[in-house]
Amino acid sequence: MELEVIKKLATMARVDMDEMEMQEIADSFGPILSYVGQIQEISENGGNRENLIDNVPHNVLREDIVTNKGGEYTDKILGQAPKIQDGFLKVKQIL
Amino acid sequence: MKINLIDLTIEKAHNSLLKDEYTVLDLANAYLAVIKEKNEELNAYLEIFYTDIIKQAEVAQKMFQAGTSTLMTGIPIAIKDNILFEGHIASASSKMLENHVAVYDAFVIKKLKMEGVVILGRTNMDEFAMGSSTQTSAYGATRNPHDMTRVPGGSSGGSAVAVASDMALVSLGTETCGSVRQPSSFCGLVGIKPTYGSISRSGIIAMGSSLDQVGPMGKTIADVEILYNAIYGHDILDSTSLSDKFRRTVLGEFKGQSFKKRIGVPREFLKGEGINEEVLKNFDESCQKLKNLGYEIVDVSSDMMKYSLAVYYIIMPAEVSSNLARYDGIRYGLSVDASNLYDVYAKSKGQGFGKEVRRRLLLGTYILSHGYYDAYYNKALKVRDMIKEELLNIFKDVDVLITPTVPFPAFKLGEKMDDPIAMYMCDIFSAPANLAGIPAISIPSGKTVDGLPLGLQITAPYLREDILFSIGKDFEKRV
């Protein structure tokens, strides 16, 4: 795979990495994609989703109501945040 | 008194604790002594919860005094580093979460606390559970106690080694594809990947959410069964969690029915995968043992199982790239300062994640990108359904399927690290169960000439863990 493609992927995935590693990843993608690509040869028959999903829960929803007291977990959760201010997460200015 | 940890089981420990032959703290201390002696070399535990052990032991001891103890009360257990235990670091063996303190208990921890277990510490793993050898951990590799130059398997390698070297009586690992069964096989243990939805993943650091499941590990089938029984059940916080009513309905259909004692071997699937000769010989011996025990062994044909690993290596990275997007340096975990917001994200991810995690993030991003989504991800979803359907059909004829757990025994430290495909092959026999959501167990089936443990994998239909335990117990007596 082209190094340029890997660079784009790294930007989309928001992962900063050096060019040497990107080249390594580019080299490893060939064998991986050719291995997983073997599924292209399968003609699709069967595998009817409707037959399969009746035995598992799907699209499980709950009522859209507040289940905890306001601020109940705020301190605990914000305690893990790198930067906070007045009970909010603090991020770099974006405008 | 000196407690013999080598042959200790949950039931034996429970009886001794009931009879007051030793206290819960004595038992925990016996394991701590072994940890002190062996952990530095093996690197199974990343942290021992010293201050909590005494508190937990007191709670358990009181349960014995009050007559409210269960089989799990006072049992020393190790947990994988991706399971949240409130107030303790859960790092997923990543620099990203090096200082991340769990703000709540995982469902399985809540359950175990009610039983009064003693959680000894958190165990090493492949970073974010991505690996099959516990070598991608940011905190160094774990060694196999059967041969220190070899890997213990992974990603739950630390949890396997903790039990295999008497540093815990039982342990919890997690699976996305083989991460409990494969290290169990490499370390001579029993390990189960239960039915998808059986055990809540609330409080488990997610990898591939359509595949992830918690799995107990232990020295005997009975120990694994007891631990499994203590942690399964419905949980509103995991929307894939099976309701108790649903479980009763499915199992009700089988109630009182004895199974056919008919076991399938997917022979063509085995032939294609370059199995090590000793593994194949051992597998044939296992088949013979099962025949001697009165089981009928038949070949079953499978067109789809051979595609399982390819499907897995599309679905998993896609889910990984989505799940790991949350580690952005803003809310928790590593945050690297930079001049703008994008660079905070990119530098935090770049420095927080290790190499294999970064590779899979990019692979998932590629697979989900415009132009490739249909060819890879959507196609994989369809093939996944076909695999599931094929397995359901096979189970109309046989009770369970058997294969070796892994095509080869534990390999050398450093091996396969430069060849991702070779490493991914560890999971070739594991993938069908994770994709189909059905339960599978690895049980010790003997050793190679060099003394390396081997495992037999048994796979059962949806929610039929009971068959796995039943056949496993039969088989266990004969090994």
B331-390 pLDDT, tens digit each:
999 999 999 999 999 999 999 999 999 999 999 999 999 999 999 999 999 999 999 999
pLDDT by residue (tens digit) across A49-94? 555 555 667 788 889 999 899 889 999 999 999 999 998 999 998 8
Global confidence as pTM = 0.96
> How many residues are listed for chain B in this entry?
479
pLDDT of residue B259: 79
The answer for B 286-325 residues in CB contact with A (under 8 A) is 304, 307, 310-311, 313-314, 321
> How many residues are listed for chain A in this entry?
95
pLDDT higher for B416 or B202? Answer: B202
> Burial code of B393-416, b = ≥16 C-beta within 10 A, e = fewer?
ebbeebbbbbbbbbbbbbbebeeb
What pairs with residue B58 in β-bridges? none
Q: Residue A65, Cβ neighbours under 10 Å: how many?
A: 5
For residue B155, pLDDT over 70 is answered with yes
Q: Residue B363, Cβ neighbours under 10 Å: how many?
A: 27
To the nearest whole percent, how much of chain A has pLDDT over 90? Answer: 67
Tracing tokens 């277990």 back to the chain, one arrives at B117
**A&B contacts, CB < 8 Å:** 152
Contact present, B439 and B466 (Cβ < 8 Å): no
Q: Which of B209, B147, B143, B202 is nearest to B175 (CA)?
A: B209
- What distance lies between CA A95 and its chain's CA centroid? 26
Contact present, B359 and A21 (Cβ < 8 Å): no
Spatial CB neighbours of A31, under 8 Å, sequence gap ≥ 6: B420, B421
Active-site residue flag, B80? yes
Q: Are B344 and A92 in contact (CB < 8 Å)? A: yes
Contact present, B124 and B139 (Cβ < 8 Å): yes
Q: How large is the average pLDDT for residues B266-270? A: 93
**Which phi and psi (to 5°) does residue A61 adopt?**
-120, 160
Element (H, E) at B298: strand B296-299
Q: Which of B207, B185, B263 is nearest to B430 (CA)?
A: B185
Q: Residue B68, Cβ neighbours under 10 Å: how many?
A: 10
pLDDT of residue A84: 95
Q: Which of A87-91, B69-73, B174-178, B318-322 has the lowest mean pLDDT?
A: A87-91
Element (H, E) at B315: helix B308-323
Measured at the alpha carbon of residue B96, what is the angle toward residues A29 and A16, in degrees to the nearest 5? 50
d(CA B42, CA B178): 21
pLDDT by residue (tens digit) across B434-455? 999 999 999 999 999 999 999 9
List, in sequence order, every beta strand (DSSP E) within B359-465. 400-404, 440-447, 453-459
Q: Are A36 and B250 in contact (CB < 8 Å)? A: no
For residue B21, pLDDT over 90 is answered with yes
Active-site residue flag, B159? no
Nearest CA in chain A to B353: A15
Contact present, B122 and B79 (Cβ < 8 Å): yes
To the nearest whole percent, how much of chain B has pLDDT over 90? Answer: 92
To the nearest whole percent, how much of chain B has pLDDT over 70? Answer: 99
Contact present, B77 and B110 (Cβ < 8 Å): no
Establish if B388 touches chain A: CB-CB under 8 angstroms.
Answer: yes
pLDDT of residue A52: 56
